[in-house]
Amino acid sequence: MGQKDGPEEFSDCTKTTTCTKTADDLPVGITDQFDEKDFSSSSESLCKSQTLSSSDSETIAKTSPGLDSIPLSEIDKAAVLTLIREEIIAKEIEANEWKRKYEESRLEVTEMRKIVDEYEKTVAQMIEDEQRKNIGSQKSVHQLTVERDQALADLNSVERSFSDLFRRYENMKTVLEGFKKNEEVLKKCAQEYLTRVRQEEQRYQTLKIHAEEKLDEANEEIAQVRSKANAESVALNAGLRKEQMKVESLERALEQKNQEIEELTKICDELIAKMGTTD
């Protein structure tokens, strides 16, 4: 029963390592301020990293059923932990890249705000100048208003892109935290499994020593029984030989008696014959 509990606990632990993030959760790229290729390549790298994470989880899940018959070696555990660390490092590098782009976007938004503020001040000053000079070109004012609205629309677009970038950054942080938690869970499971293996090894050594002691005792008893059997066999052989000698002696005595009886019979027959002739 002790051996079955270990693999089941390890299998339960590996089930928690599955990454729940998909490529559908990632936001749309910033089309107005950034190069479209940067975001397509970033999305592809993120999808590849998530696919790799799922593959790693499937590999661990496939490995866990075999733990009933094959214990997980130190090399296998080190390989799993190394793979997880490499994945975490890759995710951290990608997160830093998104953070850098986020800082660049934030600076651009700040500069854009300054430009818009200066632009609005300039427009207001021009309107005041036009009004003071009584020129009041409605067409120019309308054009400037359109440009201002366009600038505000661009600013809103940048802010939306900035929001999407920040949301993507937060998603990356969540993924990294999930990988770190998975690593801790795997470390804990590996440690528990190693402890269980050591306990089973100690139990095996104890049983081995006990079995060897019992085997030595059995060998001693067998040797004693064999020695006793040999002694009894020698005694029985000696008794048998003695009885055989008695039988042989009795047979010789019987044969001698038979000869004596035959001789006496002959003598008796002769005497009877003589007595018959005398009559």
CA dist 260 and 149 (Å) reads 160
CA dist 46 and 40 (Å) reads 10
pLDDT tens for the chain, 279 residues: list them.
434 443 343 333 333 333 333 333 333 333 333 343 343 444 444 334 434 344 444 444 444 444 344 456 788 888 889 999 998 999 899 899 998 989 888 898 888 889 988 888 888 888 787 777 766 566 666 778 888 888 888 888 888 888 888 888 889 889 888 888 888 999 999 899 999 999 999 999 999 999 999 999 999 999 999 998 898 888 898 889 888 998 999 989 899 989 999 888 888 888 888 887 776
A 10 A CB-CB count for 253 gives: 10
